[in-house]
Amino acid sequence: MTGKSENKQLLHLVFGGELSSLESNTFRDLNALDIVGIYPDFASAKAAWRAKAQQTVDNAHMRYFVVHLHRLLEPDSTS
């Protein structure tokens, strides 16, 4: 049972991969995407994104992203 006092889950996906060029967000190999995980809030997703981005700082083509899944699941929501 869910109540209004519980925190609403705002799911976020963190993933990344090597881009084919620095001018676009087109991935070089979709089969090689790194799915870091799904997180219950932006703060934990940002921490995971930062850790992965720092691990790959030497590769200029490697990029990680945070996707706000809650916005895709509930597009009419204001959060």
Please tell me the predicted confidence (pLDDT) of residue 75: 78
- Report whether 40 contacts 71 (CB < 8 A): no
Task: Say what the pLDDT of residue 6 is.
Answer: 59
The answer to whether 57 touches 28, Cβ cutoff 8 Å, is no
Q: What is the CA radius of gyration of the chain?
A: 15
Q: Residue 52 has what DSSP assignment?
A: H
The pLDDT tens digits of the residues spanning 6-28 come to: 567 899 999 999 999 999 999 99
Q: Give the pLDDT of residue 74.
A: 83
Specify the pTM: 0.82
Residue with tokens 């940002």: 46
pLDDT tens readout for residues 34-44 = 999 999 999 99
pLDDT, position 72: 87
The domains of the chain are located at 8-27+43-66
Q: What is the CATH number of domain 8-27+43-66?
A: 3.30.70.2400
